[in-house]
Amino acid sequence: MAIHKGIIRSRSISYIATILLIGFFAWSLNAHADEDLHTISEHTEHEMEKANLNAGEIIIGHIVDAYEWHIADYGHTHITVPLPVILYDEGEWHFFLSSKFHHGKSAYKGFEIAQEGMLKGKIVKRDAEGNFVQPIDLSLTKNSLAVIIYSTIVVLIFLGVAKAYRRRERKAPKGFQSIIEPLILFIRDEVALPTIGKKHYERFLPYLFTVFFFIFFNNLLGLIPIFPFGANVTGNLAVTGVLALFTFFITTFTGNKNYYAHIFNTPGVPWWLKIPLPLMPVIELVGVFTKPFVLMVRLFANITAGHIIILGFISLIFVFGQTSIYAGYGISILSILLSIFINFLELLVAFIQAYVFTLLSAIYLGMAVEEHH
């Protein structure tokens, strides 16, 4: 719950951008919602113990990656899509379906899903002392499958759009092309051009377009709560981390003399900050690594927080329903209204976070190719 509240609070700060857009009315509503959540969540913590329904566990369970794709529960039956597990352990490959674990309840071939500790939720093996050991795990998890599906969708969409451009040469955009075109122009004219500059911006356009639309579409598809959508892809550190690493590597490899001079021999700084103690170079070098780190964490936290809030509102219905069915129905009106509102907000956040990631990437790339002046 502490993390939960903390994320909500930090979320409120990042909402500022969106709040400016939707105006004062929405702001007051949002503050109101936060207040409600605080009082209710204190209330529910107490209720939960009694009712034996751990909303926190359920919410986190929906947020994190999994070896099976859970769709719904019906009575005591879990409706899930089992996914392939691919392990490499002690020189041996193991392939099997995640249904062999029976939703984490049993072990298979000595492998099991850790239920607690640092490796909770991961496939592990017990060594002689009974400690958990991780094999090399290339399993096609829920998020891996989702990334592949959503990537395919993105590729198909943009190959279609490219085809439309080829077919409708010099004509006004039509259909899906006209939805995409303003975004492309926005990224080109408002993000890439001002931050990278006229000389180099075209070189980085493909990467910036890819990053923007990849994040944007993954954010949007992650909001659709129906299989195969709704996986919290961009709210996963692995995904955001890989994206940030791409930006990091491109920045590092395209960095010119001027960029590295700035890091190791920062101009305009007194010499005693560089020799004998290389204070500035160390700070600059740390900055090189914090930039992608910040990219990774920002996207992850924003999208995860959005999902947590929506799931929190939905969970409230069942938490209250445990004590009294009428309380559950009663709170459902408020819960649904609030989660609809947050969903709308998330649509905005989906765009804003994709935009922010792209903008910051563009700024870092711009710094890497900036000419000496």
Near other proteins by CB under 8 A, which window of 18-26, 179-187, 281-289, 341-349?
179-187
CA angle 107/135/236 to nearest 5° reads 95
Supply the DSSP string of 65-126, one letter for each residue.
--SEEEEEEETTEEEEEE-EEEEEETTEEEEEEGGGGTTTTS-BTTEEE--SSTTTTSEEEE
Among 241, 292, 306, 321, interactor with other proteins by CB under 8 A:
241
- DSSP label at residue 272: G
Q: Tell me: does residue 192 bind other proteins (CB under 8 A).
A: no
Q: Which residues contact 95 (CB under 8 A, 6 or more apart)?
A: 84, 85, 86, 87
Binding status of residue 2 toward other proteins by CB under 8 A: no
Query: What token pair was written down for 170?
Result: 């010099």
Q: Which of these segments, 46-54, 70-78, 139-147, 257-265, binds other proteins (CB under 8 A)? A: 139-147
Our finding on whether 158 is near other proteins (CB under 8 A) is: yes
Within residues 266-325, the interface with other proteins by CB under 8 A covers: 304
Inter-residue contact 306 to 31 (CB < 8 Å): no
Contact between 248 and other proteins by CB under 8 A: the answer reads no
Q: What residues pair up with 82 in beta bridges, in sequence order?
A: 68
Binding mask 76-115 for other proteins (x = CB under 8 A): ----------x-----------------------------
Q: By CB under 8 A, what part of segment 25-44 binds other proteins?
A: none
Can you say whether residue 296 is alpha, beta or left, with left for phi > 0 and alpha for psi between -120 and 50 degrees?
Answer: alpha
Using the rule CB under 8 A, is 139 a contact of other proteins? yes
The binding site for other proteins (CB under 8 A) comprises 3, 60, 63-65, 86, 117-122, 136-141, 143-144, 147-148, 151, 154-155, 158-159, 161-162, 165-166, 169-171, 181, 184-185, 188, 202, 205-207, 209-210, 214, 236-239, 241-243, 246, 304
